[in-house]
Amino acid sequence: MYDVVLLVEEELSVPDAEGLVRRYASTSEVKFHVIIPCEDARAQIESSLASLAGTELYGMAAERYSIYSDEEAQKAQQEAQRAVDAQATAALERSLERLRSLGRDADGVITRQHPVDELVDYLKLVDGDEVVVLTRKHVIAELLHIDWSAQARRHLGVPVFHLVETTEEASDEAD
C-alpha cells in the first residue's frame, strides 16, 4: 500500500479529487489520508472582537470591554467551536467521499493544531510515503518559503508536492 497524506486548505473539489486520482493512476494500491485544518473558534472570536472594538486603532484590550460575562463568553466560544468543528467534519466527509467515489481508499482527520505539526504527526502515524499540500495560491508566503509545503519539506523526509486548488473558473474553462 502506498500512503499519500494530503494537507488541504479547504474541502477537496471534484476536479482536484479527479486530478489526484489521475496523478496516482499507475499506483494500484494507494490510500489517501486527508487532513483539513479547523479554525480555532476562540481565536476567531477574539479577532472579530478586536476588529469591532477598534483595538488595532486604539491599542485597547477587547476583553476589557466585553459585553458578556465569563460564563456566557465561554458558552458562546464552545458553541462556536462546535459549529466550526461540524463544518470542518462535513468538509472532510465530502472530500473522502469524492476520493472513494473515484475508487480510492481514503480516511482523514480535522485538526486545530498547526497544520504542518499535524502533518508531521499524521505522516508518522500512517507511515506515509508521500505528502501533497493542496492550497490556494499564496504568492507572498511561497516567495518567502513560509507556506505549508516549504515548512513540510523542512520537517519531513518524504517527497512533498505543492498543488494549487482548482478554482471554479478554471474548471469551467477546461470544459
30: phi then psi, degrees, rounded to nearest 5:
-120, 140
Cell of 14: 471534484
List 162's β-bridge partners, or say none.
133
The alpha-helical segments, DSSP class H, found in 1-69 are 14-23, 41-53, 55-58
Domain boundaries, the chain: 2-39+84-174
Q: Which three cell numbers stand for residue 28?
A: 494500484
Q: Is the pLDDT of residue 79 over 60?
A: yes
Per-residue pLDDT tens digits for 105-158:
999 999 988 888 898 999 999 999 999 888 876 555 455 555 667 778 777 777
2-39+84-174 architecture in CATH?
Answer: 3-Layer(aba) Sandwich (3.40)
Cell of 50: 478586536
pLDDT surpassing 60 at residue 99: yes
Of 87, 80, 45, 82, residue with least CA distance to 66: 45
Residue 166 pLDDT greater than 50, yes or no: yes
Q: Which of 29-38, 46-55, 120-129, 154-163 has the lowest mean pLDDT?
A: 46-55
Given a cut of 70, whether residue 43 has pLDDT beyond it is: no
Specify the pTM. Answer: 0.70
Q: Average of pLDDT values for 18-22?
A: 90
Q: Report whether pLDDT(52) > 80.
A: no
Residues contacting 150, CB < 8 A, separation 6+: 142
Average pLDDT over residues 157-162: 72
What residue type is 44 in one-letter code?
A: Q
Q: What angle do CA 134, 138, 139 make, to 5 degrees?
A: 135
Grid cell 482548482 in the structure block, residue: 166
CB atoms within 10 A of CB 83: 11
pLDDT digits (tens, 9 = 90+) for 54-72: 544 445 455 555 555 677 7
State the pLDDT at residue 50: 52
